[in-house]
Amino acid sequence: ADVIVANGAGYDSFITLLASAAEKDEAVYQLAEDVDDHDHADDDEHDDDHDHDHDHDHDHDYEAEYQNEHLWYDLGRMEEFVLDFGDHLAELAPQNSELYTANAQELAEELAALDERNRGLDGAGRSYLATEGVSGYLLDDAGLENVTESEFLSAVEHGDDVSPRLYSRALDQTRNIDLLSYNGQTETQQSARIRAAAEDAGATVLEF
């Protein structure tokens, strides 16, 4: 491979290990190294879900703050990535540079329009709970408040069931949220019950 695209931010980190084993470290092009550079300059009323600070007792050894690695739902970041990657391909294959640049520009414009539409939804005053963090960037940028506890998301990210305390609190939260963000790919008995409780409470359920 002349180029190996990796999501970065720790997501699917196996790809960089494979590249290293194949002595292809220089071929790796990562979407992002650090999730903390996510820019919400125009959205001061809400926080990224990886910035939430919950002062609760920890049930697991997840002391570090939760960081959302699902960067492809960060439309602004994806717009920048497309343009940068187009330039990168143009350097690798100059004979196709005009095609790469034109395609990247077209896609970046589509992403920018989608980002503007999403940010214009005006979700201020509405809240959401997530059974897994995949949709965080998108919903945060739409102005919704993420009420999901960081410890809950960390447990799910590690492939574990959440503690009874966190699970019980999530069930309680379903009575007060506007939206449940649901990822069927990570469905467990716990998440399915949370979904049922949200539906019973009249919350909108969206699958991501």
pLDDT in tens, the chain (208 residues): 999 998 877 777 899 899 999 999 999 998 865 544 444 434 433 333 333 333 333 333 444 467 888 889 999 999 999 999 999 999 999 999 999 999 999 999 999 999 999 999 989 999 999 999 999 999 999 999 999 999 999 888 887 778 999 999 999 999 999 999 999 988 999 999 999 999 999 999 999 9
Residues, the chain, total? 208
Other CB atoms within 10 A of residue 87 CB: 14
d(CA 185, CA 52): 24
Q: Which DSSP state fits 33?
A: S
Tokens of 158: 């590690």
- pTM higher than the cut 0.85: no
d(CA 73, CA 76): 9
